[in-house]
Amino acid sequence: MKNTPFLLTFLIFSLSFSQTNVDFEASGLGADWNWVMDQNGSNPPLEFLANPNTTSANTSETVAKFTATANGQSYALTYTDDMGPFTFSSSNSIVKIMVLKTFSSVVALKFEDSTNPAFSTIVEVANSVTNGDWEELTFNFGTSVGNTYDRMVVIPDFIERSDDRTIFFDQISFNVNETLEDYNLEDIDFESTGYGANWVWTTDNNYSDPVLEMVSNPSNSGINSSSTVAKFISTTAGDPWALTFTDNIGTFTFTEANSTVTIMVRKSKLSDVGLKFEGPNPDGSGGVIFKEIKISNTLSNGNWELLTFDFSSEIGNTFDRFVIIPDFDDSRFQDHITYFDEISFGNQTAGLNYYAINSVKLYPNPAKSVVNFSSLSDAVLQVSIYDILGKEVLRSESVQSQLNISVLNPGMYFVRMTQGINTSTKKLIVN
């Protein structure tokens, strides 16, 4: 590490941190830092050379080249302490990095306290572009807001390998001018106009950790007629608890009104589906509390099925990470595909149905005096609105596009929409 006075290092990094990416340019940051190689066989040094592909998403002149050796560990890494100490905040906790790889594997970013490396945070994301083009990966360190670190670790090829592999990386940014969606436990429907599709979903404990894909609904003639769904591949070599998680759910507290969680799944086998929530330990120890529930699907014929998870035991507890284990199976002999969709938070004890009319959209939300409804059909809706105690407070037998809700007090409600025999319930915030 350079022998730079602590305060000067901190000030230089603080200024650069808010203005400049780690871009490895001669006039920028990173190229003259001390990068230590570790767990990588002979530990070839990190190289800085000309960008091998300036015609795609990354047109910068200089990039970093990492050679993951055949006899290196799966977690072969490089790290630097030259970034200086910094504290994650809401304005710098979304970290991005550009990578160029000709194969798919997990890239991990880790931040540590150099004097106590056990105090650390790590996020893993697999690349999906393997044709020699640059790809930008996004890492959400929202769960580490308030924590201070002074070491950055890059693990470019987090997987066992039988030959040397080359990875290029560049443009590590912390000061992304974007904010996470203002999410308030609305349905996670993976539509481009909804929630979930543009969130950061990290796959873990799944060998090569193939990315969670957003694909067209393979069976939209049943209870799930939505356009887009999530596709998870549980690999043969993955753990029984191969999972995907997101921190974009934000910080929330389970209440009586949101403690029943439902999810649509489509599977060709019977196995447990696990939903898990994690959050900071309220005792201030820095530890984590979590709650996991597993329920097996009962359909394996290619039809969608609604699974219901009761988290009422967690009322009053606060969480900030949502984990899905789509195929909890310790006897997996081949890769298995699970589709999931329409994740909803509500209280089933209020007597509401949770079968989905996925073509119906409710907006704006929050709303003040009117709420609009749109669907792929022209069918008339029967609409009932319930308060959080399950009491019906407004009802209309014939709604096609708009309903006046000016009689409702500010607060949270459940809107039950019925078309024929199908019913969907969505949350509505009135302000």
- Extents of the domains making up the chain: 6-173, 202-350, 361-430
What is the pLDDT at residue 186? 85
pLDDT digit string (tens) for 297-306? 999 998 888 8
What is the pLDDT at residue 19? 38
Please check the confidence at residue 62 and state whether its pLDDT lies above 80: yes
> What architecture does CATH give domain 6-173?
Sandwich (2.60)
Please check the confidence at residue 16 and state whether its pLDDT lies above 80: no
Highest mean pLDDT among 18-27, 193-202, 281-290, 308-317: 308-317
Complete DSSP assignment for 59-104: --SEEEEEEE-TTS-TT-EEEESTT--EE--TTT-EEEEEEE-SS-
Residue 77 to residues 32, 192, 300, 302: CA-CA distances in angstroms? 18, 36, 42, 42
pLDDT digit string (tens) for 163-196? 999 999 999 998 654 545 567 888 899 988 788 9
Average pLDDT over residues 211-230: 87
Class of domain 361-430: mainly beta
Residue carrying the six token digits 């580490």: 144
Closest alpha carbon to 124 in 76, 170, 158, 161: 158
Please check the confidence at residue 376 and state whether its pLDDT lies above 80: no
Whole-structure pTM value: 0.56
Closest alpha carbon to 350 in 289, 269, 419, 259: 259
pLDDT digit string (tens) for 339-358? 999 999 874 433 333 333 44
Please check the confidence at residue 12 and state whether its pLDDT lies above 80: no
Average pLDDT over residues 64-72: 97
Q: Are 86 and 149 in contact (CB under 8 A)?
A: yes
Same fold: 6-173 with 361-430: no
What is the pLDDT at residue 351? 33
What is the pLDDT at residue 373? 82
What is the pLDDT at residue 372? 87
278 vs 4: which has the higher pLDDT:
278
Instruction: Report the C-alpha gap between 78 and 64 in whole angstroms.
Output: 11
DSSP run (H or E) holding 361: strand 361-363
Average pLDDT over residues 51-65: 92
172 vs 386: which has the higher pLDDT:
172
Closest alpha carbon to 242 in 229, 233, 255: 233
CATH of domain 202-350: 2.60.120.260
